[in-house]
Structure 1
């Protein structure tokens, strides 16, 4: 697709972790991009210079209509939402508001404006505790926490919407996203983040005293939870390719897993952080958290067959190294390191 034929893309949550990497991938590939973010968990510094940032909420129909008109928006990448599984168990209505109700408002605004392409940031949490591993897209979706349900409901809304309106969509079901932009332009910046690799590199740099290991009695090789970690820049690349696929075949919608098809346990990840940093992180064994499955590994066959997706960073030590470099830069940005 030539650069002058690329339509304008609105990225919701584009000042957040994954959204900011999608913005970088789009800008690097020459797409016109704008961002909407309410900055409750996002950061202005994560939005590249020259990319319009609208500070506001995706349920603000008047603001969305203005953005669509000003930017000539023809595609939406939707990342805005809440993502902490244990918090969703404690505060489910927050998740049904932020992830489901606000997504409904965004989809309605897109339909009203005639925006034809919609890419949705979904999650492997929609599978719950799958009976098979690796997990395929046709594995039954039985979420075990409100976070998973809030995302599954949005998938359902999109499926019903494109059946009734001239729109297509792609739902990308992420496994465990980690790492940072290889050029350290963005990374996971949220204070108090719960992502294991983020927590571990914080501990390695002295920002935390230890790392909690939640659950040591799972039915896994070492008793700790096993996850499929995908580099955030590889994930962002998948979004750009998915958008191209939607544009090329406007009658087709897609649902695809985003992972590498390889799992690492919590202890294996911590061992890798020790190896990369040449340090030993203190580990504190804690009880299981509510809503955590023992193992969650993707079958990435469909995305590899559907898109020309070639992951560039599918290596645990590389993911950790990029996360570590970003954590050091983040200290500089905040002036505390």
Structure 2
């Protein structure tokens, strides 16, 4: 059973707090930390009118972002666009622009920046993928995240800002498998009977890992974020007792994405509590069910 424990927390700004990861953080951090230490940002109307929320568009009002970052030790940039969720003229190139405006505000305020990137930057590669592995994204989303990383890290060096790109693996419950399950769900199955293999992290664990990372003053430029090991999507659905029907692999399916989390273990011990490749991921499923009413589906 996952038990809650209070954490000491620095003052941070969370950009894009009404997105999928931000929704998880609101639920977990509100329960575990002094809420006043986190300033939550949204580009739409905030969920409430409390003093811990602020609303503006960073791309059209960068001065508002700078004001919001004053006195904050870190900016956690979750703002971004994913395929199928473009709205009001937003495009995947906004992922780059949002990262750069966060860095410019950080340069003026002394904050560090943590950017939500994605394991999609690795593309279709076998074996264990470390932060030094080649990057070969195969879709527009992965390419936009990789270009975001490149431009952001170059800009951070020029501005003297500490910046870390977080290559986040599949998040249980806001992925296309657990989160996307519906009656009649079909899943790619290869000729050997296997289903796609992925590195996963459960939502509550992710929240605690991110809490550790916003504390850490000397993060590397790039960091994989997942629990160690990997699990087949079919096994994950079986563990959750969600029936599925096998289908012939789609042309663009990636057989495996397995992240090396050795570097992450130097900054957070929470991710290593669950290794889904060693045992049925009962705790991962339990964490997902706790937050299921509050989180949305990740369509990547």
Render the CA deviation track for 1:43-79: whole Å, top value 9, x for unaligned.
Answer: 838xxx956222332313132133234xx33310011
Offset from partner CA, 1:165-188 (integer Å, 9 cap, x none): 231012221111114xxxxxxxx5
Q: 1:9·1:73 contact (CA, 8 Å) conserved in 2? A: yes
Q: CA 1:138 to 1:269, structure 2 compared with 1: closer, same or farther past 3 Å?
A: same
1:128 aligns with 2:123: yes
C-alpha distance in 2, partners of 1:8/1:258? 22
Over aligned residue pairs, what C-alpha RMSD do you find? 3.2
Could you say which residue in structure 1 is the equivalent of 2:229? 262
SS in 2 for 1:96: coil
Q: Deviations over 1:5-45 (max 9, x none)?
A: x65211011122212333455552447111112249xx838
Distance 1:330 1:140, change over 3 A: closer
Question: Normalised by the size of structure 1, how large is the TM-score?
Answer: 0.72
C-alpha displacement of 1:145: 1.0
Structure with more of its chain in helix, by fraction: 1
Question: Which residue, out of 110, 121, 146, partners 1:115?
Answer: 110
**Corresponding residue for residue 148 of structure 1:** 142
Query: 1:277 — aligned with what?
Result: none
Pairs within 5 Å for 1:63-82: 63-69=64-70, 72-82=71-81
2:96 equivalent to 1:96: no
Moved over 6 A (4+): none
Q: What are the equivalent positions in structure 2 for 1:192-231 lying under 5 Å apart?
A: 195-200=176-181, 203=182, 209-213=183-187, 215-217=188-190, 221-231=192-202
Q: Tell me how far 1:330 sits from its aligned partner.
A: 5.3
Relative distance call for 1:330 and 1:152 in structure 2 (3 A) is closer
- Cα distance between partner residues in 1 of 2:166 and 2:51: 24
Shift of 1:289: 5.9
Per-residue CA deviation, residues 132-158 of structure 1 (Å, 9 max, x unaligned), is: 411111000111111111111121122
Contact 2:224–2:260 (Cα < 8 Å) also in 1 = yes
Contact 1:175 1:257 in 2 (8 A): yes
Bigger mean CA offset, 292-301 vs 153-162: 153-162
How far apart are the structure 2 equivalents of 1:65 and 1:300? 33
Return the alpha-carbon distance in structure 2 between the equivalents of residues 9 and 326 of structure 1. Answer: 23
* 1:302 equivalenced with 2:263 (yes/no): yes
Question: Whole-Å Cα distance in 1 between the matches of residues 251 and 169 of structure 2?
Answer: 18
* Alpha carbons 1:18, 1:79 under 8 Å: kept: yes
Task: Render the CA deviation track for 1:176-212: whole Å, top value 9, x for unaligned.
Answer: 1114xxxxxxxx5xxxxx6211123xx3xxxxx3213
Counterparts of 2:47 and 2:154, CA distance in 1: 34
Q: Is the 8 A contact 1:12 1:36 kept in 2?
A: yes
CA distance in 2 between counterparts of 1:212 and 1:98 reads: 32
Matched pairs, number: 280
Select the residue among 277, 284, 296 that pairs with 1:319.
Answer: 284
Distance of aligned partners of 1:50 and 1:272 in 2 relative to their CA distance in 1, 3 Å threshold: same
Q: Which runs of 5+ in 1 are unaligned?
A: 180-187, 189-193, 204-208, 275-279, 332-337
Provide structure 2 residue ranges, at least 5 long, that are not aligned to the other structure. 1-6, 296-300
